[in-house]
Amino acid sequence: MMLKMSPQGCSVILVLLLTKSVFCSKLGLEIIPAKGEIFLGEGKDFLCKSSVEATIKWMISDDEEIEDEEGRYKQKDIDESVKSLYVTASRFEPDRVIQCHAESESGETSTAQIKLRIIQKPTFVKDVATRKEFTADSMVKLPCDVVGIPHPQVTWYRYGMAITPLPGHLSASADGTLTIEKIQLSDAGMYYCMAYIRERNEMAYKNVSVIVNAAPIVRFNYTNPNITSKSNTSFTCFVTGHPEPQITWKKGDEKVPLDGQKYVLSANGLELSITELDKSDAGEYTCHAVNSYGEHNTTLFLQVIDVPQGVGAGVVTGIILLVLLVTLLAVDLTCYRTRRRGFLMYLATHVLGQSAPRVKLEDTDLKKETMAKSHVVNISGIDA
């Protein structure tokens, strides 16, 4: 409380205390600081302060006076009304009460007491490895060996999120050990364990980088593609495994001749591109992966489909024929107009003119047709 006061406030209190000790001889006693917590491995000074001159004694209980003890207690008379006690917490001890007794010259006595409590921040012990390697499918225990007084609460995190237990796979025991049964590649990553002492809001972290070694597994995301010739294609091989597997591509039993032109690798060797496909490119392509833990391969069968040969030539022939026909027709039309000859002339005279009509008509209709052609169309209704 006094610490929080302004210097002016302190002086006022000091003056008041002095006044009190001079004019009123009532024996007042206090231990400073009032909180008896000591961090393990450290020491702390306590002052027993009397309001008047007095004989001061530090006591462990009502009848046992504290004696100086190497690494535990050290007392010192500061002045006629103040005596200090330096307490060292070199090892854990249960909470204990210590007292300060004062007896003034007038025979008045007073006692103050304080509870000594050894505390400890969360502290990691042994097993401080921050990188751990495991083989896939093995059973893994990640300890979080931490001490603290009171004992800290342990929580495991992965990528910043508290791990939720997954029955049969992930579990955390009361002592803070994280167990992973049959660890998988997907379990790899950065873990950390947090030790927390709620009452003092103290926490400590320990990072553990978990590495999972596994044999490769490869797959394609398509089967047996059929691709037209002359086009370009590429296949992506999806690979898992750790350490990073080496990839090789085979066509049949031969390594694909990666010339950077016809066959090109990209995406760290995971993608094989083939340009200008032709029939000879058809066949089995294998993506093979190997690392120190094993190997695996997968194969697809590429079928190259020919673009039907005739189509291009056929279209050209068709166009030529059409042009020829139009030309002939134009020539014929000219002949018909100028010289009254040719195929159209023939049509005009033999088919449309005197020749027999294409449709057989009734006698009456036939008569009418010769007289008024337009009516025939209406009556018969066939030429329309």
Ligand X SMILES: *[C@@H]1O[C@H](CO)[C@@H](O)[C@H](O)[C@H]1NC(C)=O
Q: Which residues bind ligand X (CB under 6 A)?
A: 190, 192, 205, 207, 221-222, 224-226, 231-232, 236, 250, 275-276, 286, 288, 297, 303
Contact 256, 301 (CB under 8 A): no
The continuous run of DSSP H or E covering 15 comes out as helix 7-23
Residue with Cβ nearer ligand X (101 or 288): 288
DSSP string, 268-297: TTTEEEE-S--GGG-EEEEEEEEETTEEEE
Contact 122, 152 (CB under 8 A): yes
Beta-carbon contacts of residue 348 (< 8 Å; ≥ 6 apart): 336
What are the tokens at 195? 């030790």
- Please report how close the Cβ of residue 251 comes to ligand X at its closest, in angstroms: 9
- Please report how close the Cβ of residue 213 comes to ligand X at its closest, in angstroms: 19
- Please report how close the Cβ of residue 141 comes to ligand X at its closest, in angstroms: 20
Residue with Cβ nearer ligand X (128 or 384): 128
N residues, the chain: 384
- Please report how close the Cβ of residue 234 comes to ligand X at its closest, in angstroms: 9
The residue type found at 242 is H
Give the Cα separation of 328 and 330 in Å (integer). 5
- Please report how close the Cβ of residue 33 comes to ligand X at its closest, in angstroms: 32
Residue with Cβ nearer ligand X (184 or 231): 231
* Max CA distance (Å), the chain: 166
Residue with Cβ nearer ligand X (130 or 135): 130
Residue with Cβ nearer ligand X (190 or 307): 190
Residue with Cβ nearer ligand X (190 or 211): 190
Residue with Cβ nearer ligand X (117 or 262): 262
Q: Give the Cα-Cα-Cα angle 234, 236, 281 (nearest 5 degrees).
A: 40
Angle at which helices 373-380 and 363-371 pack, to 10 degrees?
A: 140
Give the Cα separation of 57 and 239 in Å (integer). 77
- Please report how close the Cβ of residue 378 comes to ligand X at its closest, in angstroms: 59
> β-strand 73-79 against 233-242: which pairing, if any?
unpaired
- Please report how close the Cβ of residue 248 comes to ligand X at its closest, in angstroms: 8
What are the tokens at 45? 């000074």
Give the Cα separation of 164 and 207 in Å (integer). 18
